[in-house]
């Protein structure tokens, strides 16, 4: 358990709760034919969430002696590369098309996980990206962004 | 029509060739999901929702809902089978409900009795599956008749009870679990309010008007969250795979495990019905029970076959029992059933008391297919257990990026916009950090799924009472639900204050 995380989490959620309550006051307070408007439920939730955040904040001070666990080594580099690749892949999916994007993402992912075996990496990425596209778009008539426009296909 | 003819129709639906195929694919993938340590039943089901949605796109809405729920439920109980395989052979449970199985199962494998342990687990799971199905058939109609008499006030209190039960038992800190539940409810209010048509918390972002898609959040939190964990923490399983010599259990083994299987099934089933107490708790309790009533408890932990038979039967029975509140009252008791419920709602099929009247094909088709699916699992697991055990050696190098790619594909295929893909990434990261710091994820999904219904029922009840909140206390049934809900939260707190250890459910 990480007390620092909990403390920040409780503060962040307190802010969210406050924002939620303030924002819910802007919602119309009545609905046609009922004096129970669409604002009551969100406001109540915000209130409970705020109370729970305070409770969590209080708990982080209570038994703080269990701190100082052995921190395991996290592989941030590997995570950041794959996450950045995934985020870029998701963001530009419609521009670069499904097949190109998936192929590139998988290749980067495979090689970041473990270097080497380029041939099988390329083969699996190509098979997966084209296979999914073929089955979903050609057979099942679904919608996926095809080849990019500038590709001329 | 009586129950038997409904069941007959259900079997007719389930025996359609394409539904048979769906059930088969479901249990196959489910077993694989159970074996692979990276993905649990929740992320497996969440990942497969969009895939099944695209496979069933050619069918009529009701048939599509039936087929996909058959497949998804197959994944759910298939994972219960698969989880036992790796606990026995490798001492690494594929999912949390087979943690106890590893205690005795791995010892048996070390003694060269891996085959008997595996087959007893399969037989126990099968028996438990059948027990919970029979009970489901018997209880479904009466329970949904009772639930039909509930008004909005009763429903509101019942759902509140469901949420409290799940939060009370999930994870190490109840505050955190409750926070996640409320946060899920808050996320559920985003979008157009479907009573008054007012936009709430949309900030003029067009994609937010239809609300946050449940699928995006579930796939992000569960599937991507677990993937990120594997990437960051370099999990590996280098354990030696135990050899499987003989597959069938001996007569002695059968004799010793009959009692545990029967007791485990019954206990597991009743624990499964209770909201919040899922398969993990069921397997723990049945193990403890067997150890208590055993003539030689010192054998437990050293390869007692009862220590494999009882928890494996219990976790399977619990997954069957968990279907009862979902199908009859529309209240999911665990993360996985919440995801199944979300899938049903996506198909415009509302689980609840009306399900059996409005969509008998879906309800009874699912029940019948669970019967067939259990048969398939037994047939698959006995001869093919060696093949399944090999799945664990799929290199994570390929598995991890492909799971990310499937998540992206799945969300895009259903939502067709990049906004949801970005949301997916955000929830993936959030899922990792929340889980790492003991914030349980299942209550959030439960809150998100139940949120709109809780709010509707609350407002209908309040409209009827002219805004008087006392209506929830004046209706006797509603009052009972609320009292139980309060007890569910306070009793564990009191026990903790007195220094007792409280068993918690750590399913996701």
Could you give the ipTM of this predicted complex?
0.88
d(CA B219, CA B150): 33
Domain with B137, as residue range(s), is 3-497
- pLDDT at position B471 is 86
What is the spatial distance between Cα B72 and Cα B68, in angstroms, rounded to a whole number?
A: 6
Q: What percent of chain A has pLDDT over 90?
A: 19
Closest alpha carbon to B322 in B98, B92, B97: B97
Residue A86 with chain B: CB contacts under 8 Å:
404, 408, 425
Buried b (16+ CB within 10 A) or exposed e, B182-219: bbbbbbbbbbbbebbebbbbbeeeebbeebbbbbbbbb
Which residues fall within 8 angstroms of residue B461, CB to CB, at 6 or more apart? B151, B152, B153, B156, B471, B472
**Contact yes or no for B463 and A36 at CB 8 A:** yes
**pLDDT tens figures, A25-39:** 877 766 666 667 788
Contact B246, B116 (CB under 8 A): yes
In eight-state DSSP terms, residue A138 is I
Which tokens go with A29? 């307070």
Residue B507 within a domain: no
Region for residue B382 given its phi and psi (left: phi exceeds 0; alpha: psi -120 to 50; beta: otherwise): alpha
Our count of domains for chain B comes to: 1
Give the CA distances from residue B256 to residues A123, B247, B378, B389, in Å, rounded to whole numbers and listed in that order.
51, 17, 20, 26
- The answer to whether residues B82 and B29 touch, using CB atoms and an 8 Å cutoff, is no
The token pair that represents B337 in the structure block: 């059933």
**Mean pLDDT value across chain A:** 82
The Cα–Cα gap between B241 and B249 comes to 20
**Two tokens, residue B204:** 């003029």
pLDDT at B242: 64
Interface of A with B in 72-111 (CB under 8 A): 72, 74-76, 78-79, 82-83, 86-87, 89-91, 93-94, 98, 102, 105-106, 108-110
Report how far residue B411's alpha carbon sits from residue B49's, in angstroms, rounded to the nearest whole number: 9
Asked if A9 is an interface residue toward chain B (Cβ–Cβ < 8 A), one would say yes
pLDDT of the residue at A135: 83
Q: Which of A52, A53, A114, A141 to mutate to test the interface with B (most CBs of B within 10 A)?
A: A52
**Rounded mean pLDDT of B160-173?**
79
Query: What pLDDT is stored for residue B372 in this prediction?
Result: 86
Q: Is the confidence at residue B213, as pLDDT, over 90?
A: no
Instruction: For residues B507 and B280, give the distance between their C-alpha atoms in angstroms, rounded to a whole number.
Output: 7
Q: Is the pLDDT of residue B503 over 60?
A: no
CB B422 within 8 A of CB A94: no
> Do residue A75 and residue B233 have CB atoms under 8 angstroms apart?
yes
Q: In the predicted model, what is the mean pLDDT of residues A64-79?
A: 65
Question: Contact, B76 vs B334, CB < 8 A?
Answer: no
Interface test with A, best of B196, B225, B431, B458 (most A CBs within 10 A): B196
B173 CA: distance to closest CA in chain A (Å): 9
At B42, list the tokens.
């929740």
- pLDDT of res. A85: 93
Domains of chain A, residue spans: 3-63, 76-151
- Nearest alpha-carbon partner for B80 in B283, B243, B285: B283
Nearest residue of chain B to residue A73 (CA atoms): B233
Tokens 């499964």 locate to B272
- Average the pLDDT over each of A80-84, A106-110, B28-32, B166-170 and give the range with the smallest value: B166-170
Q: Worst-scoring range by mean pLDDT, A120-129, A139-148, B254-263, B400-409? A: A139-148
Q: Which residue has the tokens 């609300």?
A: B211
Average pLDDT score over chain B: 82
Q: Quote the percentage of chain B above a pLDDT of 70.
A: 93
Q: What is the mean pLDDT of residues B422-448?
A: 89
Token pair belonging to B149: 């008499």
Residue B464 included in any domain: yes
């Amino acid at each position: 358990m990480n007390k620092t995380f909990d403390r920040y989490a409780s503060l962040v959620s307190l802010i969210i709760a406050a924002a939620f309550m303030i924002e819910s006051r802007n919602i119309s307070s009545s609905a046609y034919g009922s004096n129970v408007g669409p604002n009551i439920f969100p406001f109540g939730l915000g209130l409970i969430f705020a109370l729970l955040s305070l409770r969590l904040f209080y708990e982080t001070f209570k038994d703080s002696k269990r701190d100082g666990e052995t921190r395991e080594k996290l592989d941030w580099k590997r995570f950041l590369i794959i996450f950045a690749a995934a985020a870029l892949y998701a963001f530009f999916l419609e521009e670069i098309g499904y097949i190109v994007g998936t192929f590139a993402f998988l290749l980067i992912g495979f090689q970041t996980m473990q270097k080497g075996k380029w041939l099988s990496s390329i083969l699996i990425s190509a098979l997966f990206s084209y296979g999914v596209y073929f089955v979903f778009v050609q057979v099942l008539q679904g919608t996926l962004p095809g080849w990019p426009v500038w590709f001329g296909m | 029509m009586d129950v038997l003819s409904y069941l007959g129709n259900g079997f007719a639906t389930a025996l359609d060739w394409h539904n048979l195929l769906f059930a088969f694919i479901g249990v196959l993938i489910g077993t694989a999901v159970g074996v692979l340590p990276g993905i649990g039943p929740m992320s497996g089901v969440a990942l497969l929702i969009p895939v099944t949605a695209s496979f069933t796109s050619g069918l009529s809405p009701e048939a599509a809902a039936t087929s996909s729920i058959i497949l998804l439920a197959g994944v759910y109980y298939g994972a219960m089978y698969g989880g036992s395989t790796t606990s026995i052979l490798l001492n690494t449970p594929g999912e949390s409900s087979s943690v106890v199985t590893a205690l005795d199962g791995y010892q048996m494998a070390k003694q060269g009795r891996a085959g008997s342990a595996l087959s007893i687990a399969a037989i126990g799971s099968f028996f438990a599956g059948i027990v919970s199905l029979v009970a489901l058939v018997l209880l479904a109609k009466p329970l949904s008749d009772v639930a039909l008499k509930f008004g909005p006030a009763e429903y509101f209190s019942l759902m509140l009870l469901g949420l409290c039960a799940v939060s009370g038992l999930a994870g190490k800190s109840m505050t955190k679990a409750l926070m996640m539940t409320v946060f899920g409810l808050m996320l559920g209010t985003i979008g157009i309010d479907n009573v008054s048509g007012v936009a709430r918390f949309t900030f003029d972002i067009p994609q937010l008007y239809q609300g946050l898609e449940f699928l995006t959040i579930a796939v992000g939190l569960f599937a991507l969250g677990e993937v990120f964990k594997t990437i960051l923490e370099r999990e590996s399983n280098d354990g030696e795979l135990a050899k499987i010599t003989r597959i069938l259990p001996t007569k002695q083994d059968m004799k010793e495990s009959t009692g545990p299987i029967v007791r485990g099934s019954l206990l597991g089933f009743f624990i499964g019905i209770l909201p919040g107490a899922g398969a993990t708790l069921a397997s723990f309790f049945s193990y403890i029970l067997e150890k208590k009533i055993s003539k030689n408890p010192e054998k437990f932990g050293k390869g007692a076959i009862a220590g494999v038979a009882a928890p494996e039967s219990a976790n399977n029975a619990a997954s069957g029992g968990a279907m009862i509140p979902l199908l009859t009252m529309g209240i999911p008791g665990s993360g996985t059933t919440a995801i199944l419920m979300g899938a049903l709602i996506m198909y415009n099929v509302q689980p609840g008391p009306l399900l059996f009247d409005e969509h008998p094909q879906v309800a009874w088709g699912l029940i019948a297919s669970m019967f067939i699916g259990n048969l398939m699992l037994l047939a698959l697991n006995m001869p093919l257990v060696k093949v399944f055990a090999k799945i664990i050696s799929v290199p994570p190098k390929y598995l991890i990026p492909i799971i990310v790619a499937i998540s992206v594909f799945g969300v895009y295929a259903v939502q067709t916009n990049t906004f949801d893909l970005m949301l997916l990434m955000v929830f993936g990261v959030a899922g990792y950090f929340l889980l790492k710091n003991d914030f349980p994820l299942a209550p959030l999904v439960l809150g998100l799924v139940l949120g709109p219904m809780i709010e509707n029922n609350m407002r209908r009840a309040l409209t009827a009472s002219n805004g008087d909140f006392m209506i929830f206390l004046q209706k006797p049934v509603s009052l009972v639900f609320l009292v139980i809900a309060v007890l569910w939260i306070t009793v564990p707190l009191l026990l903790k204050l007195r220094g007792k250890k409280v068993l918690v459910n750590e399913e996701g």
